[in-house]
Amino acid sequence: MKMYFNKYSRSFLAGVLLLTAASCKKEYADPSGPSYDQAISSPNALADLTVGLQNWYTANRTSILYTSITTGSLLTGETYVVNAGNADEGQLYAGGASLQNTNAVVTGMWSVSNKIIFDADRVLNNAAAIIPDVNYRTGVIAYASLFKALAIGNMSMFWTNVPDTIGTNVPFITNQEGYRKAVRVINGALNVLAQDTISAGFRANIPPGVNIVNSLNALKARYSLFAGDYDTALAAANKVSGTSTFNYNTVITNPIFTLVTTTNNIYQIVDSAMGLPVGLQPDLADKRVPFYINRGTNPKFGVKGFYTALAQGIPVFLPGEMTLIKAECYARKDDLGNGLTELNKVVTKQPGADAFGVGADLPAEDAATKDELLALIYKHRHIELFMSGMELEDQRRFNRPVTERKRSWLPFPFVERNDNTNIPPDPAF
């Protein structure tokens, strides 16, 4: 029953064009593939559908990974558009009213997110009835829940409101409710994992790299933090150990490297300030700067980090993110001592001590007040998690001036607005 990941390497551009045409009704029939009745008719078919979620999330220009990193970095001044012919990325770089409801990057993120949620729901609603092997079923449920949570969480980072369900004329919830919903999805998976283990057979059929339990706890920490549930975020972050990556190969390639780094034709890094304002810019000795930014001639500042090779893996989360979540939780709970201690674990960390080589190797920071500590945590999140897609959420959460970004929220795509009377108005900025 071995299912190789490259079986999902069909044209995703064609798939997203199909999705954008049907997105408003949340109907995702693919004429080039099996019907949805066929897709959930057997354990093998349901597992195939589950494994395909990772490809939708991580592969090609239509993936959530590409669209979220691109959107976050362009709107917060980390990157700029190299070639004006890339009109959709150009709208993001211009920001403000220039960003249209028809923007392909924005529409792609919306449509693929809903596609993942739709498919994950099909899996979660049918797994118990179709998969008799409890341990194999546990893996399917946990894996589908992981990508459903990622899709809901990513939408919540970029839109004021997100759909509450999948269907016709669906209601909306706030982005904060979206984060809490993502956590509930994760809790469902963790509850299943507390009862049964994942079978070796299921693990053999998913792409290597993703540590399911670590990823679920890391995402629980991330989205609980974003929702303001600091106790839950802190507890979840403390359960994370080890790493988890989205792996690539010569068929399914690292999309930022393939489309951005190697072509130098879509966008590149603005400069070594990493999009931060004066007063928060990286120290000249910060070793994370050369980790993430390549110094050259054309471009002078180039994309590096996790986007330097065709088959380079991209972390689901960074160890430094978990430490900074702890720092922020303590700070917001007015425990400045523990907050500063956690922050300085990141500040003083040497690259060799980090699983991915991300290390500032700087002297410890000091902060006399809560505001000073939060400003430092924001600074080091921005550097440690450079080009992660979380920039806009961080800027809003830390109440950074709107002058530091080109938009706070994305407009709702016309593919949703045209047929959904429940859709909220577009944000002004």
pLDDT tens sequence across 60-72 = 999 999 999 999 9
Instruction: Tell me what percent of the residues of the chain surpass a pLDDT of 90.
Output: 90
Rounded to an integer, what distance in angstroms lies between the CA atom of residue 45 and that of residue 37? 10
| CB burial readout 126-142, b (16+ within 10 A) else e | bbeebbeeeebbbbbbb
- The Cβ of residue 355 has, within 10 Å, a number of other Cβ atoms equal to 12
| Residue-level pLDDT at 167 | 86
Rounded-to-integer distance, Cα 378 and Cα 404, Å:
13
Residue 274 confidence (pLDDT): 98
Q: Is 156 left (phi over 0), alpha (psi -120 to 50) or beta?
A: alpha
Angle at 387 between CA 412 and CA 162, to 5 degrees: 25
pLDDT reading at 23 higher than 70: no
Decide if pLDDT at 14 tops 80.
Answer: no
- Average pLDDT on 45-59 reads 96
Helix (H) or strand (E) holding 260: none
> Is residue 72 a contact partner of residue 377, using CB atoms and an 8 Å limit?
no
Mean pLDDT of the chain: 93
Identify the pLDDT of residue 40. 79
- CB contact burial 260-286 (16+ within 10 A = b; e otherwise): bbbeeebbbbbebbbbbeeebbbeeeb
- 299 prior amide bond cis, ω within 30: yes
| pLDDT of residue 24 exceeding 60 | no
What confidence category does residue 8 fall into, taking pLDDT thresholds of 50, 70 and 90? very low
pLDDT of 16 above 50: no
Q: Is 210 helix (H, G, I), strand (E, B) or coil?
A: coil
State mean pLDDT over 409-414: 98
Lowest mean pLDDT among 16-30, 304-318, 404-418: 16-30
Higher-scoring residue by pLDDT: 186, 8? 186
pLDDT in tens, 349-397: 999 999 999 999 999 999 999 999 999 999 999 999 999 999 999 999 9
**3-state SS, residue 412:** coil
Residue 339 confidence (pLDDT) above 50: yes
- Single-letter code of the amino acid located at 270: V
**Pairing assessment for the beta strands 172-174 and 161-163 based on DSSP bridges:** antiparallel
Total residue length of the chain: 429
What phi, psi does 302 have (nearest 5°)?
A: -115, 155
Confidence (pLDDT) at 63: 98
Predicted TM-score (pTM) of the model is 0.94
Which residue is it, tokens 């670590």? 214
Backbone angles phi, psi at 218, to 5 degrees: -65, -45
Q: How confident is the model at residue 29 (pLDDT cuts 50, 70, 90)?
A: low
Reported confidence tier of residue 33, pLDDT bands at 50, 70, 90 = low
Q: What is the pLDDT of residue 1?
A: 28
Span 153-172, pLDDT tens digits: 999 999 999 999 988 899 99
Is it the case that residue 279 has pLDDT exceeding 90? yes
Percent of the chain with pLDDT over 70: 91
Using the Cα atoms of residue 104, residue 106, residue 110 and residue 116 in order, give the sign of their dihedral.
Answer: positive
Could you tell me which residues come within 8 angstroms of residue 27 by beta carbon, excluding any fewer than 6 positions away? Answer: none
Over range 256-273, report the average pLDDT.
Answer: 97
The SS3 of residue 140 is helix
Q: What is the mean pLDDT of residues 231-247?
A: 98
Spatial separation of the C-alpha atoms in residues 392 and 109, rounded to whole Å: 15
Structure-model confidence comparison of residues 214 and 3, the more confident one? 214
How do beta strands 293-295 and 301-303 pair? antiparallel
Question: pLDDT confidence of 138, banded at 50, 70, 90?
Answer: very high
Q: How far apart are the C-alpha atoms of 195 and 254, rounded to whole Å?
A: 35
**Is-contact 339 330, C-beta < 8 A?**
yes
